[in-house]
Amino acid sequence: MEALDLDPGDYGGTYKLVGGRPSLDFVNTISWPETGREHDWLSSPGNARRWFAAVDLPFPRAKTVDLASLHKTRQLLARVLRPLAHGEQAPAGALAEFSKAAARAYQHRLIDPASLAWHWPAPQTAAEALAPILLDAADLVTAGDHQRLRFCPSCDWLFEDQTRNGQRRWCDMADCGSRDKARRYYHRTKA
Ligand SMILES: [Zn+2]
């Protein structure tokens, strides 16, 4: 899996689209959440723009970017999706807030008169740009297979297991998977 071209600042790691859905990749824009190594990939307008382009979602053209609004929605999605990925119940307060945000997001969607399909008009604000991500999360929560919503046991990134056998364990074999392999090899040879 290739790393996305985001500016890492002085952070040593990389960011990859491993989630399989935009809402999970959005939550994953924080590396090593709630640890001393935590890193926010959406801390600059340039990175935010590049991330939205990479997941093929429209972003406002305005020069200024409301990063706080992106971060707030990301935190809300993490509060709902992370427990589900861990096989736990999401807090009722977070679900209530999420439900309202998803309902607002629906209002941005329009039917295209030519194709008669749902489409997203060009967003004017960060909130509008977040609408498709919120709806992806809403789909995942209400209609997704929660058994296949997982977390990486090494770094806690989230992903939907879309493999046929449903045995996917790591965010990325090349990162966390091989790190674990090396660790197990080390313990085996040490014993
Ligand atoms: Zn991982």
Task: Give the DSSP per-residue string, 34-59.
Answer: TSTT-EETTSSHHHHHHHHHHTT---
CA of 13 to the centre of ligand 1 (A): 12
pLDDT, block means (10 residues), the chain with 191 residues: 92 95 98 94 96 95 92 98 97 98 94 94 94 97 96 96 95 86 66 49
Please, how many CA atoms are within 13 Å of residue 142, restricted to the half-sphere of its CB? 10
Q: Where are the domains of the chain?
A: 22-190
CA of 152 to the centre of ligand 1 (A): 5
Question: pTM of this prediction?
Answer: 0.92
CA of 172 to the centre of ligand 1 (A): 6
Cα separation, 16 vs 186, whole angstroms? 27
Cα separation, 78 vs 68, whole angstroms? 15
| Surrounding residues of ion ligand 1, Cβ less than 5 A | 152, 154-155, 157, 171, 176
Please, how many CA atoms are within 13 Å of residue 122, restricted to the half-sphere of its CB? 3
Instruction: Specify the CATH architecture of the domain 22-190.
Output: Orthogonal Bundle (1.10)
CA of 87 to the centre of ligand 1 (A): 17
CA of 34 to the centre of ligand 1 (A): 14
Q: Is 18 helix (H, G, I), strand (E, B) or coil?
A: coil
Q: How many residues does the chain have?
A: 191
Amino acid 190: pLDDT: 54
